Amino acid sequence: MRTFGIAVVLFIIFHIIRVDLFDGTITLASFFGDEVPCQETTVDYIPVKTIEGDTIETLFAMYPDGDVSFVERLSIFYSLNPHLQNQDLVGGLSIKLPLTETHLTNCK
């Protein structure tokens, strides 16, 4: 008889929790803050001819871009210039230097 009573009590507790999870206040709770507007980032580039002694850091300093971090900009740089993955910059190279623009749009 005690086992039957414990089973009924557990059934009632599980039923209340299930109903509250699917139809109750937990699903209505706001776990997320206000929605952030969607940002669309477009990558534009400028062609640059390197001179002897140029590094990626000096080129980024000469043409600053405050919208993205250095690591993100470096990733974009190597996607625009895949031939420079494992080599140093030498004088006379024509490279594409990324400049990003962020636009607020109503995308979903």
Grade residue 6 by pLDDT with cuts at 50, 70 and 90. Answer: very high
Domain limits, the chain: 1-33, 38-105
> Which pLDDT score, from 0 to 100, does residue 37 have?
65
pLDDT at 102 over 80: no
Give the residue with greater pLDDT, 104 vs 55.
Answer: 55
Q: Using CA atoms, how far apart are residues 28 and 30, in angstroms rounded to an integer? A: 6
Grade residue 25 by pLDDT with cuts at 50, 70 and 90. Answer: low
Contact criterion met (CB below 8 Å) for 77 and 38: no
> Which pLDDT score, from 0 to 100, does residue 67 have?
72
For residue range 56-74, list pLDDT tens digits in order.
999 988 988 877 888 888 9
Q: What's the one-letter identity of residue 13? A: I
Q: What's the one-letter identity of residue 71? A: V
Q: Using CA atoms, how far apart are residues 49 and 93, in angstroms rounded to an integer? A: 5
pLDDT at 100 over 90: no
> Which pLDDT score, from 0 to 100, does residue 28 have?
58
